[in-house]
Chain A
Amino acid sequence: MSHQVLIPTPLRPYTDGQDAVEVDAQTVGEALAALTGRYGGLRRHLYSDDGKLRSFVNVYLNDDDIRYLDREATVLKPSDVISIVPSVAGGAPVLTQDTALPELTQDEYERYSRHLILPEVGLDGQRRLKAGRVLCVGAGGLGSPAALYLAAAGVGTIGLIDFDTVEASNLQRQIIHSTADVGRSKLVSAQTRLVALNPGLSVETFDTRLTSANALEIFRGFDVVLDGTDNFATRYLVNDACVLLGIPNAYGSIFRFEGQASVFATTGGPCYRCLYPEPPPPGLVPSCAEGGVLGVLPGVIGTIQATETLKLLLGSDRGLIGRLLLYDAWNMRFRELKLRRDPACPVCGDQPTVRELIDYEQFCGVAPAAAASTVAPEHEVTVEQLKASLDSRRPVYLLDVREPNEFDICRIPGSVLIPLAQLPNRLSELPGPSGEAEFIVHCKMGGRSAKAVKLLHEHGFTRARNLKGGILAWIDRIDPGLPKY
């Protein structure tokens, strides 16, 4: 089959001045081989010494970059047109030239011997890892396995940002922390563990909440940012800061049994906003604290993020750039979706409108006090008020809108269970508006019950009030004997 290859201006001197050449080929690779076979002068400009297409040579099949097809193996159809399109790039020297890579010590040759014998890593790659600086945003479910493997692999500097302390409920998945660390700062706990694993490692800690005011300053100087955040506002913040600074973002997220991973904010690649231009409505996607998460799930996704991070440091382009990997642990299936940079993306598009960091809480529609603020103060009660009502034997109708498995763990005596999702269809089971009893609604932390109270008010149950802080507040302040989850 004969196909046309369009030649850009700088390469026309090698094709006798022609701007298009006809070749016979079945695949893109064959077409390029036929072209360079006929016009030998092209070869050194299209291919590097190891026979790979140079990174700044873009080959398009009609309007598609072959990197998003099957690369050189892409099969040609009749009338397909191949174009060679330059990306023109360059710039002033950066400080970390290859010559400035650190040497390995004798101990390090031994420690990293299994890397050194991999041609894809080798001595040069291991030195790149040693020079590498990776920031893990969050030392939790994703950050734990990621930071451990990055430290073990010989990444020279790991930054950690977190402001939490270790809780017992973290230990089911946050394997960087131990039982003895409960109550300690996550940063101190993680740093201790990482340095014990690899004493050559330098750990930089940032004991703060990541905000629009500090993100650029913290991120600057890192080679890769590993996004281990657990909420949308911070995820958009991490994405935008990475795009603005030109730092690749090794992204991962988890929920219940499902996870996803990709690499964002690389040259020419998509960003998180190309995938999700808008955040979901607040409250639609529950957090792991509300919805639960299989403990090993962040282990899988976090190590995928660590894998991609190492490859970025090694200079590989064979990663998840332009692909979203979806993992379903319950059915044990991996799937992937193709992603492209959106030229209309407000951050990484051709005419970006977001040129500095914005207010991400507002962008995601979460007021700082979260969902609880959707209930007016006069429609809220404290756990102390509930206790007083129960003790005085005033009639109280206490509605629990959690899930049955949560109800099995702990409950406030006398409560009635109707999960939030079933509430609209079970309104007839509720005491009528004329009843005498106080009507109090609760869940685990107060978020779901706030939604329930809103819904009840819309249906005429205007006496319904929300229990502030949910059953966790009840356990903390009234009945510490109940199991906490």
Chain B
Amino acid sequence: MRPTQSDSPPAAATIAPEALEEIRRHASETYPFECCGALIATAGRIVEAFRLPNTTAAGARRRFRISPSDYRLAEQRAREKPGTLAGFYHSHPDHPARPSPHDLEQAWPNLTYVIIAVDAGAPGDITSWRLREDRSAFDRGEL
């Protein structure tokens, strides 16, 4: 299920294998801390996972934060590609690849959120989510 709003940008339903591989690499390198980065799409397909620093001050084992300046960097990267900023990815060290209440509380609409589980350092499940228009929940997407 996707938000039904017609003017929403197309949800990037597919992701290039190289981008998936980069997310896995980033997640296991960063373990036991959370990694994060931007997802850049061309023609509705995520083609690049762009690493960004986790600037959380609330404990990087259980939190991630992409700073406003890094967000701007991601928009710029998408413009230069040229492509669109499709969303963001982050890891859940030793935790399932499902959005947390905290993810929901902080989510932006019209973006794809990719979550990767990391179990004892090894990359695990990867899932994709989009915020419902009324902010009540995430809907799971396809990868």
Contact = CB atoms under 8 A, between A and B. Distances in A.
B34 interface: yes
B92 to A, nearest CB: 4
B127 to A, nearest CB: 13
B141 to A, nearest CB: 15
B60 A246 contact: yes
B7 interface: yes
B93 A9 contact: no
B48 to A, nearest CB: 15
Chain A interface size, under 10 / 10 to 19 / 20 to 34 / 35 or more: 35 or more
A9 B84 contact: yes
A88 B88 contact: yes
A65 interface: yes
Interface string A9-29: 111110011000000000000
Contacts of A92: 34, 62, 92-93, 95, 100, 102
Interface in B41-94: 53, 55-60, 62-72, 75, 78, 84-85, 88, 90, 92-93
A265 B57 contact: yes
B71 A85 contact: yes
A330 B107 CA distance: 50
B53 A268 contact: no
A346 interface: no
A17 B111 CA distance: 14
B108 A91 contact: no
Given A10-B109, A87-B68, A245-B59, A44 B99 contact: no
B72 to A, nearest CB: 6
Contacts of B95: 92-93
A245 B61 CA distance: 9
A17 B5 CA distance: 13
Contact of B75 (A9, A45, A245): A9
Contacts of A17: 7
Contact of B108 (A88, A268, A343, A351): A88
Interface string A49-92: 00000011010100001000000000000000000011111111
Nearest to B113: A90
B68 A58 contact: yes
A247 B7 CA distance: 42
Nearest to A54: B106
A97 interface: yes
A87 B58 CA distance: 14
Q: Is the interface of B mostly helix, strand, loop or mixed?
A: loop
Given A10-B108, A243-B57, A269-B57, A91 B64 contact: yes
Contacts of A169: none
Contacts of A476: none
A45 B109 CA distance: 8
Contacts of A243: 57
B66 A91 contact: no
A92 B72 CA distance: 24
Contact of A89 (B75, B106, B110): B106
A267 B69 contact: no
Contacts of A248: 57
B103 interface: yes
B66 A87 contact: yes
B14 interface: no
Interface string A243-259: 10111100000000000
Interface residues of B, number: 47
Contact of A267 (B36, B56, B78): B56
B42 to A, nearest CB: 14
A44 B5 CA distance: 15
A13 B110 contact: yes
Nearest to A271: B57
Given A92-B92, A93-B95, A243-B57, A86 B108 contact: yes
A88 B102 contact: no
B68 A91 contact: no
A266 interface: yes
B63 to A, nearest CB: 4
A369 interface: no
Contact of B71 (A11, A87, A266): A87
B58 A88 contact: no
A65 B69 CA distance: 11
A55 B105 CA distance: 10
Given A87-B67, A88-B108, A93 B102 contact: yes
A12 B108 CA distance: 12
A97 B59 contact: no
Q: Taking each of A44, A45, A58, A248, which has the highest tally of chain B beta carbons within 10 Å of its own beta carbon? A: A45
25 contacts: A9-B78, A9-B110, A10-B110, A13-B109, A17-B7, A58-B68, A85-B68, A87-B66, A87-B67, A88-B66, A88-B106, A89-B64, A90-B106, A91-B92, A92-B34, A94-B63, A94-B102, A97-B101, A246-B57, A246-B58, A247-B59, A267-B55, A267-B57, A269-B57, A348-B57
Interface of B: 5, 7-9, 34, 36, 53, 55-60, 62-72, 75, 78, 84-85, 88, 90, 92-93, 95, 99-103, 106-111, 113, 134-135
Give me the 4 closest cross-chain CB pairs, A-B, nearest first. Answer: A90-B103, A91-B63, A246-B59, A92-B95
Interface of A: 8-13, 16-17, 44-45, 55-56, 58, 60, 65, 85-94, 97, 243, 245-248, 265-269, 343, 348, 350-351
Given A58-B68, A91-B58, A91-B100, 16 more contacts: A8-B71, A9-B85, A10-B109, A13-B109, A13-B110, A45-B109, A85-B71, A87-B65, A87-B68, A88-B36, A88-B106, A89-B63, A91-B103, A93-B100, A93-B101, A267-B55
